[in-house]
Amino acid sequence: MLNALKALQSAIRNPQSAIRNPQSDMLDYAEPVTKLIDEFKRLPGIGHKSAQRLAFHVLKAPQEETDRLVEAIREIKEKIVFCSTCNNLTDVDPCRFCSGHSRDRSIICVVEEPYNLVAIEKTREFHGMYHVLHGALSPIRGIGPEELRIKNLLERLRPNESGESSVKEIILATNPNTEGEATANYLARLLKPLGFRITRIAMGLPVRSDLEYADEVTKHKALANRHEI
């Protein structure tokens, strides 16, 4: 990210030298622009063409706009840290969820990424604590239990001075895909022998959808997670 910031600043300082036309028939970008494109390509979901569009958008943008972008990148790298308790992104440690006195500390909701935490919090229905793994198990990508932030989850579950843990229930809210299911199953096998209540978020048909258009797995989950009304 710091390399991207330097490339961005270099390209902004020299917008007129963005393109040069050498002796060859190939169009060649000036070095600062090439660096910026390469750095944008490192971002998730950004290919070469998208990186080019972003780079030239930066070059054409007003100086004030690019200054705000540079400052925002610098500020997030300087001020944002991981919460030492739940691993959420925060500018204060512990984060506002872990330090909030109104939160129910007997329930921990385990999610994959900080944006999953935000999605659950937007429902305004969950008032417990969170734990962010920063990923999911994926042997193909070389992500095992050691790469996830599971160690400090176990530390949070340790008994207090009275010999009991303040945590009673752990909600596994990993994504309903192959990697998320594998992570949930792994955590369930790891934590259930410790005596905690382990639950999984319900999955099934979304609101205002039609059975006709749902896939087989979704309908299976909806039937398996049915409840009495």
Q: What is the pLDDT along the chain (229 residues), one digit of tens a residue?
A: 556 666 666 666 665 555 454 443 335 788 899 999 999 999 999 999 999 999 999 999 999 999 999 999 999 999 999 999 999 999 999 999 999 999 999 999 999 999 999 999 999 999 999 999 999 999 999 999 999 999 999 999 998 877 788 999 999 999 989 999 999 999 999 999 999 999 999 888 787 888 888 888 788 888 888 877 7
Give a yes or no: residue 211 inside a domain.
yes
Strand pairing report for 104-111 and 128-132: parallel
Quick one: how far is CA 93 from the chain centroid? 18
Do 108 and 217 sit in the same domain of this protein? yes
Do 208 and 105 sit in the same domain of this protein? yes
Give the separation between CA 156 and CA 166, rounded to whole angstroms: 9
Give a yes or no: residue 125 inside a domain.
yes
| CATH number of the domain enclosing 71 | 1.10.8.420
- Give residue-wise pLDDT tens across range 185-209: 999 999 999 999 999 998 887 878 8
Give a yes or no: residue 44 inside a domain.
yes
Structural domain that includes position 30: 2-79
Domain count, the chain: 2
Do 57 and 147 sit in the same domain of this protein? no
Phi, psi (5° rounding) for residue 199? -125, 155
Do 72 and 108 sit in the same domain of this protein? no
- Give residue-wise pLDDT tens across range 138-178: 999 999 999 999 999 999 999 887 778 899 999 999 998 99
Give a yes or no: residue 229 inside a domain.
no
* Residues whose CB is less than 8 angstroms from the CB of residue 108 and which lie 6 or more positions away in sequence, other chains included: 128, 129, 130, 131, 153, 156, 167, 169, 170, 171
